[in-house]
Structure 1
Amino acid sequence: MIQSLFIITSTGETIIEKHWRGTTNRAICDYFVEEVNRHKRREDVPPIISTGNHYLISAFREDLFVLAVITNETSPLFVIEFLHRVVAVFREYFGKFEESVIKDNFSTVYQLLEEMLDNGYPLTTEPNALKAMVAPPPGVVGRLAAMVSGRSGVSESLPDGALSNMPWRKAGVKYSQNEIYFDVVEEIDAIVDAHGEMLQCEVHGSIKGNCRLSGVPDLTMVFRDPSVIDDCSFHPCVRFSRYEHERVISFVPPDGHFEVLDCCVDFDRMVGPLSSSVKASGQADPWPSWRLCVSYVTSACCRYSRCMRRLSLLSWALQPHVSS
Structure 2
Amino acid sequence: MGVIEASDRAWKGVQMTNERHGTAEWLRGRSQRLRSLGELSCKDFMAYEFGISSPCKHPRSCLDCYADMFERIADRIDAERALPEGMEWPRFEDGGLVRIGDELEFEGKTMLVCDATFCADGWALWCDREDMSGRLCGSYTDRVKRPAPKVLDADGAPIEVGDVVYYDGEPHPLTVVGITRDGKDALIDANGEESCVEGGRPQDFSHDAPKPVLDADGVPIKVGDTVFCDDDPEQLIVDSFDDSGCVYLTLVKSPNGIFYTVEPSRLSHERPDSWERIEEDAKLAPRDYPEKCGMNPEKTERIASMMADLVRRAKALAKAGE
- With the shorter chain as reference, the TM-score category is under 0.3
- Tell me the TM-score normalised to structure 2 length: 0.17
Which structure has the greater CA radius of gyration? 2
Q: Decide which structure has greater helix share.
A: 2
Structure number with the bigger relative contact order (C-alpha 8 A, sep ≥ 6) is 1
Higher strand share: 1
| TM-score of the superposed pair, with normalisation by structure 1 | 0.17
